[in-house]
Structure formats: C-alpha cells, structure tokens
C-alpha cells in the first residue's frame, strides 16, 4: 500500500516552486508583511488586517497573496492601497484553498500519465515505468505495463504541478493599478478557525473570606495559517452574525497561575462590547493553543453561602415523602469593584477555585461558569455541595380550602425542615422556597423574607454539631 510518506519524494521530482505555478502572477509572500493585526471574537470569528509592501507595475495584474487564513470568508475580503487609494481597483478575486499534498497530486492526475519508480528488493535496482492513474478513491488504482494494480509500491514522478494547487492558502486578486513602484497594501477579511475564551483561577484563603484571582485568555488557532508578530485584540460580547446556510463547526501549577506580575491586557469599551488589547506583539502558530494573562488581583473579599433550595411542585398536592436528605449548595460571592482590586469588565469563562490544605498543598474545591460581568456587578459561583450540612423536609399537612373569586384553586400546607450541622462550629444557611401562585405564610417558626414574587427565604443559624427546625404553614391560591 502506498502511504503519504512514500509519496513525499514527488516534490523533489517535480522541481517546480510555487511561484512558478502561474508565470503571469505577481506573488506577495509573508516576507512582504509590514504589519499584522487580528481581532478575535467569542464566536469563532476573527478580523484579520494584513499589511504588505509590494512593487506593483502599472496595468492589469494578477496579484497572488500567499499566507492568508485557510478559513477566510472570501466574500469579506477588502484589498486597498494605503497611500494612494484611487490607484488600485480590484476587478476579481479567487481564493485557492486546494492545497498541495501528495494525495491531491494523485487526485489531479486521475486519467493522466505519470512515471512510477520502483525498486527490486533483492538487488536494490530501481526501474522507471509509465503509469496511468485510474482512481484515488480509498487507495490508488493505476495501469502499469498493461496491468491494473491497486496501491502499487513506489514513488511517483509528475511532469508539473497543476495550476490550481497551492502550497499555502492563497487569495488571487485581479487588479487594475495606475501607480508604480513600492505600494503599501492592506488586505482585511473575516475568518473562521480563530477563537478565544477566558479562564480564571482563584485561591481561597484559610478562612474562606478572601481569594486571589488570576485571569487567562486562551487562544486557539485552527485556521491553517501561522501569524507572526501579530498585534492581538479580543472582543468580549455577543456580536450578531447572519446565519449562513452552511453551518461551520465550532476546541500549570497553581503557583505559576497566581502570579504577581501585572496583566498585559488593556481594556476599553467598544460599541456595546469590550475590547482587550495585548500590549506586545505575539506569534500565533497554526494548531496552537496559547495563554496570555488577563488580570491579577489579590485579597478580594468573598462571602460563602450555604443554600437549600426547594421546588414548587409539592405545593400542589399531598406528598408523603419529599425525597432523600438534602445537601446544601456551596456558593461564593464577590464584587467586581476597583476597591476590591478588580473593576475590569470580565469576559465570560470558567472560574476554577483552589484552597490549600494543612500541608500547604493547593487542592481543587470546585468550578463554575461565569457570564460576561460588567464593572461593579456581583459574581456568584456554585462550587459544589456541602458534606456536613444536610436537611430533611417533610410535609406535615395538606388541605384544600375555599378559593373564592378570582381563584380556581386554594390549599394550605405545612412543612417541617430539619437542618443539621456536623461541623465543629456554628454556621448560617439560607433556605429558599419557590412558592407558586398567590401565596401567604400563615405561620412560621422563623420570619421569612419575600425576596421575589415567587420566592420566600429564611436565614437560619445551626449550632455546632446540632440541628435547627424550620416549620411553616402557607396558603397558596391560583
């Protein structure tokens, strides 16, 4: 069977450079670049601005711009002359994304004659024979010396490289140019294949009332092109795009993450979004994931919350059992304020939280996804469920009552919640009950707060290694 490795020598056999694919083309390569900037959005979209200095003759020219993104959206490409805009007119443009590979060479030569070189394994002698490529579907079928062979062993020699094959993604533009000499050109276009996301790492202190926070931007380049020394900007926000008919597919030690160095990203408002600019040029290689620092803040005040949240379904009927013992959800809450060492609008991402054990080793204690968070807003993260804080809920009574106009249903029900704390210190928990319809608490052992139209909330103290009972009766009408 012929492998891609065994086909690689065809490049030497052809002895043709990419620049000679079309002698009438004027080629602009990466070496012509004078500036490169990329703005990456959250939703697999990037704006690329590529500046090049190229000598252009006057007249009609086919300009081949090599090294563009392999996932360029050609309909968005705009080529202009920076110094003399009126001197350049684009008549036509073609994006050549059929890249030069051994398999592609064979595919392009189906039905045509090539040469195949084969070696006698006993003597080491090489022989060269004429061959006709018949098919490349799931392997190679060739006619050699009047016989049909599948996957013949050997290396192929091709007479030339087809004009529509390129070694790099290339945008060929037919232009009419009236200026002569060195011209400063800028090609701007939108591309898929470049994405970014924010990741955050936090370390809680020993008393769970403060944390250190580091933010990282993770860049991923699957565009098929490397971008050297690029000026990088990131847009955080949900930018609307017209959906196309064809859908595109959307991929350290704690001490190193919690760093003291200042973050190299500068933030500013852009329309209804936020723009982050990397303060130094960077190179984004193809098939690479790169991380750059977004922010570093220390000793941010936090509040830990233990929350029991019920359901609204059991207010509609009698229930003998309301399920297994409940565990308290564990939340931490912090404010994105300048006074707390933050204050930068934060892009959405996952926040991973660590805490050091008695031996000084950082242990993972939970993570949650954070949405885009403006300045002065609250960040609330659910880290998991408490091991030592539980509750048991029981429905003690349920009876329908006269509902009266304009209600169609009314019932009173009584609930008992036993809250248990196995810790060696007292704690405070929050009990939240979503209650449907028009409701009223008739009796309760601890006073509630009506925090929303359909939500009652109690703040309950539980003694160390003890328990507390919350009991309430509620009228529900709807």
Q: Are residues 185 and 91 in the same domain?
A: yes
pLDDT in tens, 325-363: 889 999 999 999 998 888 888 999 999 999 999 999 999
pLDDT in tens, 419-449: 999 999 999 999 999 999 999 999 999 999 9
Asked whether the beta carbons of 56 and 180 are under 8 A apart, the reply is: yes
Q: Are residues 267 and 136 in the same domain?
A: no
CA–chain centroid gap for 259, Å, is: 24
Whether residue 177 is contained in a domain is answered as yes
Res 97 pLDDT > 60: yes
Whether residue 409 is contained in a domain is answered as yes
What is the total count of domains within the chain?
Answer: 4
Res 208 pLDDT > 50: yes
Q: What is the pLDDT of residue 361?
A: 94
Q: Are residues 42 and 53 in the same domain?
A: yes
Averaged pLDDT score across all residues of the chain: 87
0.85 exceeded by the pTM? no
Res 252 pLDDT > 60: no
Percent with pLDDT over 70 in the chain: 90
CA distance 300 to 140: 64
Res 112 pLDDT > 90: yes
Asked whether the beta carbons of 211 and 287 are under 8 A apart, the reply is: no
Asked whether the beta carbons of 199 and 215 are under 8 A apart, the reply is: yes
| Number of residues assigned to the chain | 478
Q: Are residues 40 and 185 in the same domain?
A: yes
Q: What is the pLDDT of residue 323?
A: 62
Give the pLDDT band (50/70/90) at residue 94: confident
Q: What is the pLDDT of residue 289?
A: 93
Give the pLDDT band (50/70/90) at residue 174: very high
CA distance 153 to 3: 9
Q: Are residues 56 and 185 in the same domain?
A: yes
CA distance 384 to 392: 19
Whether residue 342 is contained in a domain is answered as no
Per the rule left: phi > 0, alpha: psi between -120 and 50, beta: everything else, 107 is: alpha
Q: Are residues 406 and 467 in the same domain?
A: yes
Q: Are residues 322 and 429 in the same domain?
A: yes
Whether residue 26 is contained in a domain is answered as yes
Q: What is the pLDDT of residue 95?
A: 85
Give the pLDDT band (50/70/90) at residue 142: very high
Q: What is the pLDDT of residue 121?
A: 85
The average pLDDT across 275-301 equals 91
Whether residue 347 is contained in a domain is answered as no
Res 20 pLDDT > 70: no
Q: Are residues 457 and 401 in the same domain?
A: yes
Q: Are residues 127 and 249 in the same domain?
A: no
Could you tell me the sign of the dihedral formed by the alpha carbons of 149, 151, 153, 157, in that order?
Answer: positive
Residue 369: burial class (beta carbons within 10 Å; 0-12, 13-18, 19+): exposed
The DSSP annotation for 18-67 comes to GGGS-TTEEEE-GGGEEEEEEEEETTTEEEEEEEEEEEE-SEEEEEEEES
Whether residue 74 is contained in a domain is answered as yes
pLDDT in tens, 34-73: 999 999 998 889 999 999 999 999 999 999 999 899 999 9
Whether residue 353 is contained in a domain is answered as no
Q: Are residues 292 and 318 in the same domain?
A: no
Q: Are residues 309 and 281 in the same domain?
A: no
Res 127 pLDDT > 80: yes
CA distance 213 to 257: 9
Q: Are residues 451 and 312 in the same domain?
A: yes
**Between these two residues, 436 and 246, which has the higher pLDDT value?**
436
Q: What is the DSSP letter of 319?
A: -
Asked whether the beta carbons of 200 and 351 are under 8 A apart, the reply is: yes
Whether residue 362 is contained in a domain is answered as no
Q: What is the pLDDT of residue 403?
A: 84
CATH label of the domain that carries residue 437: 2.60.40
60 lies in which domain range?
19-99+165-191
CA distance 216 to 296: 9
């Amino acid at each position: 069977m012929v492998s891609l490795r065994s086909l690689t020598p065809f490049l030497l056999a052809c002895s043709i450079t990419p620049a000679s694919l079309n002698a009438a083309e004027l080629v602009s390569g990466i070496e012509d670049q004078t500036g490169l900037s990329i703005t990456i959005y959250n939703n697999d979209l990037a704006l690329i601005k590529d500046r090049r200095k190229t000598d252009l003759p006057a007249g009609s020219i086919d300009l081949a711009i090599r090294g563009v993104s392999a996932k360029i959206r050609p309909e968005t490409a705009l080529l202009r002359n920076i110094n003399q805009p009126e001197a350049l007119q684009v008549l036509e443009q073609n994006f050549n994304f059929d890249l030069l590979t051994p398999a592609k060479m064979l595919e392009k030569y189906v039905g045509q004659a090539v040469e195949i070189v084969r070696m006698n394994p006993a003597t080491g002698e090489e022989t060269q024979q004429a061959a006709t490529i018949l098919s490349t579907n799931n392997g190679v079928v060739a006619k050699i010396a009047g016989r049909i062979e599948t996957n013949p062993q050997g290396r192929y020699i091709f007479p030339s490289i087809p004009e529509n094959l390129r070694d790099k993604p290339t945008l060929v533009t037919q232009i009419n140019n009236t200026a002569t000499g060195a011209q400063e050109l800028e090609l701007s276009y939108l591309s898929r294949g470049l994405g970014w996301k924010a990741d955050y790492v936090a370390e809680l202190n020993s008393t769970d009332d403060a944390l250190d926070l580091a933010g990282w931007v993770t860049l991923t380049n699957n565009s098929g092109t490397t971008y050297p020394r690029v000026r990088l900007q990131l847009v955080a926000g949900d930018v609307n795009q017209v959906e196309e008919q064809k859908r595109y597919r959307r991929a350290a030690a704690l001490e190193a993450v919690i760093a003291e160095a200042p973050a190299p990203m500068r933030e500013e408002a852009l329309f209804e979004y936020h723009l982050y600019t990397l303060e130094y040029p960077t190179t984004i290689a193809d098939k690479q994931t790169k991380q750059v620092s977004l922010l570093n803040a220390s000793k941010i005040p936090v509040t830990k919350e233990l929350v029991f949240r019920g359901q609204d379904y059991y207010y509609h009927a009698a229930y003998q059992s309301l399920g297994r013992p409940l565990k308290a959800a564990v939340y931490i809450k912090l404010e994105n304020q300048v006074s707390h060492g933050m204050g930068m609008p934060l892009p959405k991402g996952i926040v991973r939280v660590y805490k050091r054990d008695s031996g000084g080793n950082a242990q993972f204690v939970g993570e949650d996804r954070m949405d885009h968070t403006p300045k002065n807003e609250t960040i609330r993260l659910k880290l998991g469920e408490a091991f030592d804080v539980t509750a048991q809920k029981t429905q003690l009574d349920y009876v329908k009552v006269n509902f009266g106009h304009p209600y169609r249903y009314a019932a009173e029900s009584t609930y008992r919640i036993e809250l248990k704390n196995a810790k060696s210190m007292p704690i405070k928990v929050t009990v939240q009950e979503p209650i449907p319809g028009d409701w009223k608490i008739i009796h309760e052992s601890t006073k509630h707060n009506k925090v929303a139209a359909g939500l009652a909330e109690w703040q309950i103290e539980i003694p160390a290694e003890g328990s507390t009972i919350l009991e309430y009766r509620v009228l529900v009408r709807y």
